[in-house]
């Protein structure tokens, strides 16, 4: 059996050199990082939605009746398309945040004792 570099034998894994295999602060920082990505994406999709709505609604002042329908259709399309993704990322961020606090309290972290 050969590993990636072509040397014989099974690959050697040292649990002490891998920070993901260790406990303590690495696990807590990983839990916090698991919250940051969904929260960032929720903020970005929310900002994109607001930007598109503002851009579409800026065309409303010079619109005739058919232009008003086009602008309204654009607003509805943006909301129908992006709102589910915003809700998805907000729910993921909320689950990750509650997991950080649930594990933190259960594990004795964050209790102020230390």
Categorize the per-residue pLDDT at 114 as very low, low, confident or very high, splitting at 50, 70 and 90: very low
pLDDT score of 112 more than 90:
no
Calpha distance 85→88 (Å, rounded):
5
- Helix count (H) and strand count (E) of the chain? 2, 0
25-53 pLDDT tens trace: 556 666 677 888 888 999 999 999 999 99
Q: Note the pTM of the prediction, 2 decimals.
A: 0.60
47-96 pLDDT tens trace: 999 999 999 888 877 768 888 888 889 999 999 999 999 999 999 989 98
CB 63 within 8 A of CB 73: no
């Amino acid at each position: 059996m050969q590993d990636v570099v072509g040397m014989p034998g099974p690959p050697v894994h040292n649990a002490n050199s891998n920070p993901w295999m260790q406990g303590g602060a690495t696990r807590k920082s990983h839990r916090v990082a698991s919250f940051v990505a969904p929260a960032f994406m929720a903020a970005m999709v929310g900002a994109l939605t607001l930007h598109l709505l503002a851009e579409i609604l800026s065309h409303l002042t010079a619109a005739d009746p058919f232009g008003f329908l086009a602008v309204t259709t654009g607003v509805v399309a943006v909301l129908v398309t992006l709102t589910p993704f915003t809700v998805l990322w907000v729910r993921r961020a909320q689950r990750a945040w509650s997991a950080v606090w649930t594990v933190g309290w259960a594990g004795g972290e964050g209790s102020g004792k230390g």
